[in-house]
Structure 1
Amino acid sequence: MKQLVCLFKELKTEDQHLAGGKGGTLAYLYQHGYPVPNGFIIMPAAFEKDELIPEAWNQIQMYLRQLRQTVDENAFAVRSSALSEDSSTASFAGQFKTVLNVGTDDEIRKAIQTVRQSRHSEDVQVYSRSKGLTVSHDMPIVIQQMVKSDISGVLFTVDPVTNNRNEMAGNFIFGLGEKLVSGHITANTFKLRRKTGIWHSFSYDGSPKLKKFAPKLYKLANRLEMEMGCPQDIEWAITSNTLYLLQSRPVTTLIGYNPITGECNDSLTGNYLWSNVNFGEAIPQVMTPITWTVQHQIFESWKLLPGYQSSGNIGGRIYLNLSIYASVLSALGKNKQGIIQFLEGLLYTRIPESMDIPIISLSKRSTVSFLISFGKLILKQIQTTRLLPKFLSSNPVWCENMQKQIQKTNTKAELNSLWQREILPHLQNTVWYVMASVTQFSGYTIKLRRELTELIGPENADLFISGLSSSSDVRDNSKLLASLGPLLGISKLACKEITRKEYIAYFGHRGPNEFELSVPRPAEDPGWLDQQLAQYESSPIDIEALLIKQRTSFAAAWNRFATSHPQKVRSIKRRLNKVAPKARIREAVRSEYARDRWVARMFALQAGHLTGLGDDIFYLTIDEVLNVLSGEEAAIEYIPARKDIHKRYLSLPAYPSIICGRFDPFRWALDPMRQNGIYDANGSTSCSENNSSQSKSHIITGSSGSAGRYEGLVRRIHTLEECEQLQKGEILLTSQTDIAWTPLFPRAGAIITDVGAPLSHAAIIARELGIPAVVGCGNATMCLRTGDRVLVDGGQGVVRLLK
């Protein structure tokens, strides 16, 4: 039987969505010890249209009697709590009726009817349409003990004008708060400023009459923001020197996701520094909702700072929040130069010294919490490293068995349970192997490469850390770099050294945009292998000859090194011997992670089959998919709008690899002087000046991907569909690459990318094949055109326009 009326203290977590935005929040606050006036919620089932059913009114009268026994004053507030009200998508502030200071049962019943009927008003319908919501609203109603305020106020836990999360901005008046909320009176303003550094908490700037309440207000607001996971708009009141919270809602202008339209932009959630330097190559295209939310669930254990996202979604692309790391370093006393050096080591890319990195003011508790979480993360990675060989041998078997189990699952309930019980835990566990393998390879190799560059120059340094495959046998994963496997596999299949079945078994899960769940894997497409063979046969390249040539170059460089630095031969040789195994493990784990993503795709396809949604399933979040499997289908109506925004995001060029502050991808794309490398909304970085000076000097700078110098003609390619345009010996220019681009590399004389880092896919494969590469240029695809003659200096990370 559906619940008709529910006390704040009795509302269950799973029923919060039925209580509306206001009711659900107030119940949460009451149950978690916040100072909230007591009350109850009249649920939607209590009404027939706008009339209370008799049984509901009997329960309401019973709860009113109980509340009247607990206080001297018998006045109540009757407030709306529509299902979309006070939500992350719409506040509906002032749109529905509120009736205050009612006492008798008759007055309360009339107030309930007034509030309930306000859902049909013209203002509500206009506001709903503007937010993309249905104009028909079901409305629970909150009845709450009335606080006759001496002081009434509103507090935003972030400055709503500047997005500065280091400041809380508020207003207050003397007396009841309705005039404040409605804007009918000029209010007093105040600010609560979070201070940086371990030993500081906040400062108060405002009227002395509120000052003594500021510490408690700050403490409650800070706690509430952390628990809710986003900035809050809090209504509060003070009566008889007691502070009460009357309601709290998300600051809708600082919400990064609109579930109705599918728009994602976490750069709106605050003033932060974001980067997708490594993510951009792993996930090169715009993500569908299911892909992003599965990724978000996988990284749930990586939440290092409560209340702040470690990673975010900007226009469908994944970014890392660097302000979290910068803020902790700042709190520990690191200066700006030290912070930049740390971030550059984390990203393997340059950050302009002129950039003002947004810093979050952290309390001592938050800083210590981060350090504890980060320490646990490092310890978990160290523990996981020991288990890498076992994971690599067992994961293919697990994936094969799980795909079979998914295909055999014939009911929605069983599929839902399978995800919760086995698939999600496995995916969350695999990410630890990914990070452990990346950390052990990158940390070791970056340091060694830097030392070798200072000792023998970039070209020889690159040679020394190439040759990562000690065998070209695609059947032996322990000796072959996994990212070279698909390329070598095609050549061996063409020469009939392996069968089609073997190729699919080894590499059928690797392909374009392989982390996106909506993209079919090569193994699913019967014609894919024939297309690859046709491309290879039209321009055959002896891959093994390129690898042998690179090994020969390595041997010559090593002989020169042994002659010039005999005292360092033993130590460098010992360290170099560790690079290749670490690299092969990293690439093998990444291959298995792609295999895991294929399992997640198979789950989504089966969910689409069982629900009748087909490929539309990819435009639901993973939680919504599970809800649909459980019979709740409300989110299905949002699919057309989400498909539309996804298509619009896909039409845009790849976004800058570094974003500081608020970023509008559509407005940015319209700017003819836009930057693909760095976007600084705060204006501290003179990106346009740097771009202008680069253009005038005909020099484009990036990161050294693979040493060597090559002069030739540019071929700019935006998508893989254009790959046949690349002629042998031309310089491949593109925004970013993933493993699907590997077959093009042997044809190229050199490689230039906007996105990338020294240890990214493009750089590693280019070094293995001995192809000069400059990666992470930011704006190369804007500055260069097909037919331009350039000199690529991979060792220096520089491209010179010659003609």
Structure 2
Amino acid sequence: MFLNLGEADCEGIGNKARHLAKLIKHQPLLFSVPAGLVLLSDFSIEHHFGYLTNALKDLGNGPYAVRSCGLEEDGASESMAGKFHTELFVQLEDLASAINKVRDSYENYLDTSAVLVQKMIEPDYSGVLFTRSPENSGLASCEYSIGTADAVVSGKVEPKRIDYGRWTGNLYPEQKDMKHMLSLLFLAGMIIEDKIGAPQDIEWAFEKKKKKLYILQSRGITSHLYDPGIAVEQEKTVRQVLASKIGQKGRKIFQNAAVREVVVSPSRLTRSLVELLYAPSGALGLAFDLLGLPCPAVNQPYVSSIFGQLYENVDVKKKLFGFSPKLLWANRKLKKKIENKPDILLTWLAESIEKFPQYQDDMQGISISTHEYALEIMRNVKTFTEKIYPVAYVATLLAQIADEDSQEISLTSQMMRDLSRLHHTGEMEDFLEKWGQRSGNDYELSEPRFCESPQLALKFAENFADFPWGEVAPGSGFTHLKEVAKDRAIRWLYPLRLQIVALEKKLQLETGMIFHLDLADIEALGMKKLATGDIHTICMKHMHDETQWSSICLGDEITLETLERLKQEGEEKQGLHGKMVSARVSFKGIARHVSKIKTGKGNASENNEVIIAQHLEPELVGLFPNSAGCLVDMGGALSHAAIVARELDYPVLVLSGCSSTIQDGDQIEVSADGAITITRQK
């Protein structure tokens, strides 16, 4: 017959009532849920209304809110937002009629006729909170107005829009008025998301005098506009920040990595190698050990790839290279050793460089599986990380500490001189014999070496046309050994690149595609955790992600606020523009005004028509499947019709005044970013 709303978290009850029942059971002091009753499918006005009126005494004498509560409503993939009737401010004498109106609106949509009757809240403000914004997974979004939420969800008002940082709780834009209400709402929303177990679309109401927040409805968010690849990278980076406990508001967390100077626009595979080399447990930590320097314990990477760019963790850098007493003492001791006995260190460093192991490619020409070949690549990566790069890094550190007066970098100078000579003479054979294993972007694994593509050498040589051809004096000291170690390390990467390209051919990937994998993918392939047939799909996904990442503007320094808001590049908007509140796709067609919608009853639209209306009302939804798109004067991105439009991947543009300026028959063309062109038919 009927249940108390607080007891409705059970099988056979729709999510609208079940979610509210959960909140009643666990609700903190931050908010309340209006008391109510769930009228089940077997409830009969004729036989049970007297029992209902008696039970409603606990809710007061009215007015009441009467809402739908179907089993299929508020589902994980389909919300049915605004599809069914709601009656507000219902007096007891009108209750039976209101219940029947809600049931009649179900028609053939639902397998239940349950109805929710609650005490009516008469708020000062109300609206909708998405605990995860449909446009950016780092934000929560709120739209609200004066009075009941009905005007907001039905698209009949231009609501006030506020965004919150999901991790900082910051208000964007900053608010002075109603800050208590908005802050309380955000806290309540995040608690509700945690209780339900997923981001929520919450309808709420607030009584200003009592400072009381009411939750009227909470359902899962069914669709969004942001790219999933962007959201995954965003949350991965934030988790790293929060794990290191450095996510204070406004504090710089990451900055441009110094390694960007030599690794320009790195591929995914190269980025993963750099992250490995600069890990405190990788080549960086081994270099500290070789020098006898203490390597501070850190629980986060030093260099991280964030949206395809390399950044340094500021706190980790301070711990590794800061002026702690222990590290300062070790540095002074090493500097003193360099000053007093440089020959000993120079000899040791030169011998260490000469002991670089040979590259192992024992499987060349042998018929082996792709899994075994991937393992061979990872063994060579391990050798580079543990035996080659630590020594090269030690040479760099010693050169920095020595601070020699002579800044000779003879190998670099020799290469620049030879590039200049190549540019003027075109003598390729001698150049390739000496520098064929180098490239214009030495540390980039996807970059062909000069010996692979002599034309690249000629192109690169143009940059050194004015470099003098004179003889370069033989180098000496730590600076020279740094250059030698760097050159040997770079040359060691050449056969590694060849092995990676050979694996690419084994996997039958298009040229260059393998560099969209990372080392973890290759290792997983070697360990048979990835099937060879899955590699192409993974490459395509990574390529899609990086295409999306290319629009992200992080800047030179990153704060938690930067990660939340994620500004994206875009051309400066010119001409007439509106706001896309659903699918960001282009559309065009003939304008058609809709003054009064009767869905499915003689007012159906055509596929080549663009609907023009004043408000983004739920009644418009019936026309979505058979029209090209929709333009409205007003309506929020969190309104019922906008929610359904996103579920249908249907484009809706909000453009103030469009219903009065556009005429029936006008040719409308809207781009994915909301630019609109109107051509009047003669």
Larger Rg: 2
Structure number with higher helix proportion: 1
| TM-score normalized with structure 2 length | 0.41
TM-score computed with the length of structure 1 as normaliser: 0.36
